[in-house]
Structure 1
């Protein structure tokens, strides 16, 4: 099942997703489980995280949520380029999470001086501490159709026997990344695409077209259901 939900503008989109996210986490906890969420970076995601932090989210026990990342820039831990820096500042540090449940991807440091070894370490963390699948995967979308750090025509698109991989030639700086694979991202109870802006409209249309190539538009490799596309009108304008 694929749902397409449209909002007039980015603030309206962010507000709606924030409320839906709090509701979903509360529902999973009401089932007696600890929610497991794979987070994403990006402008609209950051706006959503700030909107969540501004809500009355007392229905969620934030100390009982596991946070993962779909991808990360392989840079120093204190670099502003890292996705986890913004999420920490805008959401996690505000709502009071359990630091042991925040599973950040390795940074480029003395403990993880090698990109491939860092990716392997994250794969091991998912295997040891993950629950076998995510409850929710949040994904942005690039103008080129990439998701996480799975870029058009890159070899990582064809890997189906790993959870996390290193990327050395990202077309967006910085060039070195760690990304979850399609195999990992599709092991989830739900996927939410979070997309705003006219610059993403063509990629949205290609991702949702009846036919197309994963190598041209990597977002087509996300096949888990249900999938919800949360769009503002600009991002939906080519549909």
Structure 2
């Protein structure tokens, strides 16, 4: 399968969220036609919440057999369960609480009040990933992985000039002294993310324009971590016009 990388530009945040939601529903129907279950990685932030809210409000969402969809996260903040700082809290409020999912379909990172240390939590989540790997793989080959991008180019909790983006011998890392609060986090590593069939970046705002432009221009993954992430089948940057300000016209796709 040819790996494709595209940038799709939308006029504003609202149209961006609704377009990504519609594409997600369509793609999930295609995936579930071809295989018994699907694995999806979610991210945090306001844009992620807007996309999930658009999915939740779409009448077409009822066409998906959600009992066959497993949800994961690319990273999580090391705070107590139920905290509104957690990425899973955003997803629960925006979509998951309305889907009546089986508990075993929602794969949350451990919380700081779980009784585990941060390092133990990384090991425990790595074991959970491995349980769902196929043919000895150490993690699922995620069907769709959503990622946001920080103004500094970070993805998940893999930050510029930090060792996390370079880790290849683990699926999950404990993050300490994060340059973005809170300081302690858990994150999937680059090899796990790059094993995804499809990477969908969703970006809005002028503060993301520089990072996106640098990533597409071939910047180092150590300098701009988003530059080191690419899905096996397809990598799509869904962006609004402000975030696309530094994307060369030749890289902007006219259709999906």
Asked if residue 64 in structure 1 is aligned to residue 68 in structure 2, the reply is: yes
Residue 26 of structure 1 is aligned with which of 16, 25, 29?
A: 29
Separation in 2, partners of 1:161, 1:110: 25
Q: Distance in 1 between matches of 2:32 and 2:101?
A: 15
Q: Determine the structure 2 residue equivalent to 1:4.
A: 7
CA-CA distance at 1:116 after TM superposition: 1.1
Aligned-residue offset at 1:71: 0.2
* Match 1:99 to one of 103, 109, 112: 103
8 Å Cα contact 1:140/1:195 also seen in 2: yes
Aligned match of 1:44: 47
> Given the alignment, which residue of 74, 98, 108 partners 2:78?
74
Shift of 1:130: 4.0
- CA RMSD between the two structures: 1.0
Q: How does 1:165-184 map to 2 (within 5 A)?
A: 165-184=173-192
Q: Confirm whether residue 212 of structure 1 aligns to residue 219 of structure 2.
A: yes
- Which segment drifts farther, 21-30 or 48-57? 21-30
Secondary structure, in 3 states, of the residue corresponding to 1:138? strand
Indicate whether 1:153 and 2:157 are aligned: no
Q: How many residues align?
A: 237
Secondary structure of 1:76 counterpart: coil
In 2, the alpha carbon distance for the partners of 1:143 and 1:32 equals 36
Partner of 1:134: 142
Aligned residue number for residue 231 of structure 1: 239
Q: Distance in 2 between matches of 1:48 and 1:191?
A: 15
Structure 1 distance, partners of 2:133, 2:15, is 32
State the SS of the aligned residue for 1:58.
helix
CA deviation vs aligned residue, 1:183-230 (integer Å, no higher than 9, x gap):
110111110000000111101101111x32111100011022410000
2:242 aligned counterpart, secondary structure: coil
* 1:118 has 2:126 as partner: no
TM-score by length of 2: 0.90
Match of 2:239, SS state, is strand
Separation of aligned partners in 2, 1:78 and 1:170:
21
C-alpha offsets along residues 154-184 of structure 1, whole Å, 9 cap, x if unaligned?
1111111110000001111101000000011
* SS of alignment partner, residue 230 of structure 1: strand
Determine the C-alpha separation between the residues in 2 that align with 1:212 and 1:222.
Answer: 12
